[in-house]
Amino acid sequence: MPANPTSLFPPILPTRQGMLEVDELHTIYWEEVGNPEGVPVVFLHGGPGAGLSPQHRRFFDPQHYRVILFDQRGAGKSTPLGEWRNNTTQLLIEDIEKLRVRFGIDKWLVFGGSWGSTLALAYGEAHPERCLGFILRGIFLCTASEVDWFLNGVRWFYPELYDEFVAPIPEAERGNLLKAYSERMLGTDPEVYWPAARAWSRYEGRRVFLLPQEEEPASDTLDLGVGRLESHYMANLGFFSDDQLVKNVGRIAHLPAVIVQGRYDVICPPLSAYRLHQAWPESRLRMIPDAGHGALEAGISKALVAATEQFKRMGRFD
């Protein structure tokens, strides 16, 4: 365990890193962290489009785990940045399988938060035979009601942010904010797509934590990746059929899973985690009473590290 059980493991550098060409358009960045002979884990970041952070390596005991992290198509160090063409959930699942084969891994623990939880469930339901179990945080099932909440419902809690978000959009277009922002962000004119992407990313970023945080410096990489790819995936409801991830959970219900959810998460509200847990009775739901959406909020990070440690000790979750 870390010296302080509530903290992450110490900062660590990758043992290997590189780029993998996955098709004629996309090349994805990957890195390997920890023990090359350890229990394999695949880390799935959020967004879509948010990319990796060095902090993501720190949920895992590097003596025990072999962690494969990668920037999904269009995110982080993957190229082209913000590219939504040839970018679907089904293609991301294929990329995960290409990485698994690339590293000679038979089965791995699947760890994902927010959109990463969406992708983790989709991957597991497509390839249950390749999964050891799941650690999921801030559940997002990519349903129409969740997308509507993300864009509109949250104004009940953050009316000032909502007003800022809709301000650049003409009143005639405000009835469909997703369409209005998508048309701007997926266009070719940087004078149009950059302001839209920055407004979208700011709208999300300022409600991640339960308590106000000092704002981080603006990141063009994050803004463009998140703005373009979130709107693209939301407009297509994740490329899923209706409530697909809950309806197909039986394919992975035999595998151990822990779900970590912030009680006051206004980006991915607790109902989705609760619905998933109801459909997956053998999963363990950890509702964190003093947290929002952020993986690095104290209660959430503690619960995530506890989950990786418990799986390390027992190969499962109690």
Output DSSP code: residue 79: B
Q: Calculate the CA dihedral of residues 159, 160, 164, 169 and round it to 10 degrees.
A: 30
71: annotated active-site residue: no
- In terms of DSSP bridges, do strands 257-262 and 108-113 run parallel, antiparallel, or are they unpaired? unpaired
Q: Calculate the CA dihedral of residues 18, 218, 264, 2 and round it to 10 degrees.
A: 50
Cα separation of 299 and 176, whole Å? 36
Specify the amino acid at residue 294: G
Q: Which of 78, 114, 182, 283 is catalytic?
A: 114
Q: What backbone torsions phi and psi does residue 225 show, to the nearest 5 degrees?
A: -60, -50
Closest CA to 300 of 292, 308, 310: 292
Cα separation of 11 and 184, whole Å? 38
- Overall residue count recorded for the chain in this entry: 318
**Encoding tokens for residue 6?**
């509530």
Closest CA to 94 of 22, 165, 45, 197: 22
Q: Which of 45, 232, 277, 293 is catalytic?
A: 293
Query: What are the DSSP calls for 53-67, one per residue?
Result: -GGGGGGS-TTTEEE
64: annotated active-site residue: no
Q: Report in angstroms the alpha-carbon separations of 47 from 129, 225, 230, 291, 311.
A: 26, 8, 6, 19, 26
Q: Which of 61, 71, 223, 265 is catalytic?
A: 265
Q: Which helix (H) or strand (E) holds 45?
A: none
Cα separation of 240 and 209, whole Å? 28
* C-alpha torsion sign, points 23, 27, 33, 36: positive
283: annotated active-site residue: no
List residues with catalytic annotation.
114, 265, 293
